[in-house]
Structure 1
Amino acid sequence: MAQSPGTTRRTFLTRTVAGALGAGALAAAGGRAAAAASGSPAARLAPSPDVHIFYYPWYGSPAVSGSWRHWPQGGLTPPDRIGSDFYPVAGPYDSGDRAVVERHMGWLTQARTGVVVTSWWGPGGYEDQRVPLLLDAAAAHGLKVAWHIEPYAGRTARSVVDDIGHLIQRYGGHPAFYRDAAHGNRGAYYVFESLRIVDWSPLDQVADRAIVLAQTTDVSKVAHFGGMYTYDAIAAGNNPQWGGPAAYCRDHGMVWAPSIGPGYIDDRAVPGNSTPTLERLDGATYDLEWNNALSPANGGPPSWVSITSFNEWHEGSQIEPATATPPTALSYRTYSGAYGRTGRAAETAYLDRTAYWVGRFEAATRRR
């Protein structure tokens, strides 16, 4: 996810990685991941309301929005040259294209991710303008929509309280507006880079109707919040030590929603960057991170699992299908080899593997 609509979160990730990526553990998991995966699509079961996935409605194209948006990141020229190391099955699409968003919701249903956490940069912005379409498409597929409140210019604790009021007033009556019956029928609001602000006491004003999640594992930084999440898929693969935050959330009636992902690479979007690449290892990385989230040693299973991401193409963390036959203008990666699949069968490998892990999560939750 970007720190602003035109940049990646390279600086944040570089700051928080701190240690080695546990490559040996990932490599050891690689063979097990491929062996455990079946080559057939997952059974179409209902999406889980406790599996949330970060979603980016910030893309634009000349045909729909009048110009390219986000795809040119890294100084590239779409449609064949885009700011991503992978290339979408749908090509460089527009987030305002109804057919595209409908297709996305179908893929998310296939993955069994029940809550779409949409990137949101304030009232009236490009992403906010796409919310009505997203809500309608989500409702048509039995999905819900929650909110990822980004570090927009001038964001304060007070403005976030106002944002929550705005979102409830404008969209709260829509059938796709997410509320968690298990936690007081409140909506979910993830706050990216919450540590930028020290005093979050204004959140007390919305605690009765909003679960506001801080992006941290530092329990000394979550006063006034209703939960915690991590977002960072790199740290999630490196022995994340989540037992303490999980226990803290459980003991204080808070939501624990650790974030996991399939990998990370932003080399094309940010030429010359210093962010480590987290290789997918044919799916072994994703399996390891799911295991980390569900492990009792890490306080698992958690309240929710949050997935980074559905379509953050600039950072290579997406599970959205990537084409097996990308344009030749640049050397793009593919999902070939993921869980033993090749060619077009590999394009949806991460959707189906997500559905598998959602089932594992639900089973672990029932046993808890």
Structure 2
Amino acid sequence: MSATPRRRLSPTRRTFLAGAAAAGATVLGVPTAGAAESVTAAAAALSTNVHIFYYPWYGSPKVHGSWRHWQQGNLTPPNALSSDFYPKLGAYDSGDRAGAVDQHMRWMRAAGTGVLVTSWWGRGSYEESLSRLVLDAAAAAGLKVAWHIEPYGGRTAASVADDVRYLLNTYGSHPAYYRDAAHGNRNAFYVFQSLNIPDWTAIEAVKSLGIVLTQTTDTSKAAHFGGMYTYDGIAAASLPNWSGVDRFCTANGLVWSPSFGPGYIDDRAVPGNTTPTVGRANGTTYDRVWQHTLTSGATGRPPAWVSITSFNEWHEGSQIEPASATPPSVLPYQTYNGAYGKTGAAAETAYIERTQYWVQQYVAQRPA
């Protein structure tokens, strides 16, 4: 979320999420708990076709000078946070490379997610000020960086086209700047809430510079874009039929990057909201959406890209970042205890390890 929440309060998002139900059923063919435990970071598969949404928007008095994001919902960090889970790293600062960001990169590397899609709120934003730090840390871990262009004030199709040029000109020479060899060595620019802008003709001018993805499954809204994605973990939990989108993208030379996550809960960050909650069901939810995504294409094969919601969107409880098994008692926090049969400290990294398992399955099954 931003300092003024965007995902949770968005009418577009709520309309899109309406009716989505929490997942919980057992899926035949999903490996038993513990199958990912043999995966080590040293032997981990790393795929640049697996993208994960990353949020460099947190701040603390020690680094940033004040709390940022953690205090949403009128809470008082560092013990009372605007999340139903408590980070293993505590109320960290996104500008603290040694204390947080480098560890994030190591975890994403261990998970096998080769591209982090960093939340970007326009030139002059807090997130933009940390872009080079994120790129430097990613490069050190052997990861690549793509961009999540958020609905900053005054955003238009023309400004997004300018953003693509700016990001390429400013960071294009950086070793962590993502370039997909299969798609003309272009980076990915995911555009959140793209349907808020009716005419995207202006981005035709930057098609050769980047793959700009629209957030929708409505193929009639894909004109001028280079790809489509969903972001929405709630809708993904209902296991939607994505074969038509996959077929459309393949026929029209677009990149399809369906999004999914381990769960969703945002009631602490937005008290009184009515957004549906998706329970994690000790990892069953995550297994179900991964398995569904791997077989959701028109040919029953995985799509060219997949996008995980999210690494660290703590406000919405969609994170795979490790959560503390012993959070502060000031609030009733959830933990990952029981995920994939793990308990206590061993459960803290359960979703990192499970992601690595599914990345291996994806790499083995996706089209060459």
The residue aligned with 1:63 is: 62
Structure 2 letter corresponding to 1:355: Q
Structure 2 letter corresponding to 1:62: P
Separation in structure 2 between the aligned mates of residue 30 and residue 295 of structure 1, nearest angstrom: 13
Show CA shifts across 1:101-125 (max 9, x none).
Answer: 1010000000000001000000121
Q: Do 2:53 and 2:307's aligned partners in 1 also have CA atoms closer than 8 Å?
A: yes
SS at match of 2:32: helix
Separation in structure 1 between the aligned mates of residue 222 and residue 36 of structure 2, nearest angstrom: 42
Structure 1 residues 229, 39: closer, same or farther in 2, change over 3 A?
closer
Separation in structure 1 between the aligned mates of residue 32 and residue 254 of structure 2, nearest angstrom: 37
Q: Do 1:59 and 1:71's aligned partners in 2 also have CA atoms closer than 8 Å?
A: yes
The residue aligned with 1:309 is: 310
Q: Do 2:212 and 2:225's aligned partners in 1 also have CA atoms closer than 8 Å?
A: yes
Length, aligned pairs only: 362
SS at match of 2:147: strand
Q: Do 2:164 and 2:209's aligned partners in 1 also have CA atoms closer than 8 Å?
A: no
Structure 1 residues 249, 68: closer, same or farther in 2, change over 3 A?
same
The residue aligned with 2:357 is: 356
Structure 1 residues 13, 37: closer, same or farther in 2, change over 3 A?
farther
The residue aligned with 2:17 is: 17
The residue aligned with 1:40 is: 37
Q: Do 1:39 and 1:339's aligned partners in 2 also have CA atoms closer than 8 Å?
A: no
Structure 1 residues 30, 219: closer, same or farther in 2, change over 3 A?
closer
Q: Do 1:324 and 1:336's aligned partners in 2 also have CA atoms closer than 8 Å?
A: yes
The residue aligned with 1:6 is: 4
How do 1:189-200 and structure 2 match up within 5 A? 189-200=189-200
Q: Do 2:321 and 2:352's aligned partners in 1 also have CA atoms closer than 8 Å?
A: yes
Matched, 1:108 2:108: yes
Q: Which deviates the most, 38-47 or 160-169?
A: 38-47
Show CA shifts across 1:220-276 (max 9, x none).
Answer: 001010000000000001131101111000111110000010000001000111001
Separation in structure 1 between the aligned mates of residue 87 and residue 160 of structure 2, nearest angstrom: 33
Separation in structure 2 between the aligned mates of residue 298 and residue 105 of structure 1, nearest angstrom: 33
TM-score (norm: length of structure 1): 0.95
SS at match of 2:366: helix
Structure 1 residues 32, 264: closer, same or farther in 2, change over 3 A?
farther
The residue aligned with 1:201 is: 201
Structure 1 residues 286, 225: closer, same or farther in 2, change over 3 A?
same
Separation in structure 1 between the aligned mates of residue 239 and residue 76 of structure 2, nearest angstrom: 39
How do 1:28-177 and structure 2 match up within 5 A? 28-29=25-26, 35-38=32-35, 40-43=37-40, 44-99=43-98, 100-177=100-177
The residue aligned with 1:240 is: 240
Q: Do 1:39 and 1:341's aligned partners in 2 also have CA atoms closer than 8 Å?
A: no
- Tell me, which stretches of 5 or more residues in structure 2 are unaligned? none
- Aligned identity (percent) is 60
How do 1:227-266 and structure 2 match up within 5 A? 227-266=227-266
- Tell me, which stretches of 5 or more residues in structure 1 are unaligned? none
Q: Which deviates the most, 259-268 or 234-243?
A: 234-243
Structure 2 letter corresponding to 1:57: P
Q: Do 2:36 and 2:357's aligned partners in 1 also have CA atoms closer than 8 Å?
A: no
Separation in structure 2 between the aligned mates of residue 167 and residue 213 of structure 1, nearest angstrom: 15
Matched, 1:224 2:224: yes
Separation in structure 1 between the aligned mates of residue 44 and residue 136 of structure 2, nearest angstrom: 21
Matched, 1:334 2:331: no
CA RMSD for the aligned pairs? Answer: 1.6
SS at match of 1:117: strand
Structure 2 letter corresponding to 1:6: T
Structure 1 letter corresponding to 2:158: R
TM-score (norm: length of structure 2): 0.95
The residue aligned with 1:321 is: 322
SS at match of 2:118: strand
SS at match of 1:169: helix
CA apart distance, 1:34: 7.5
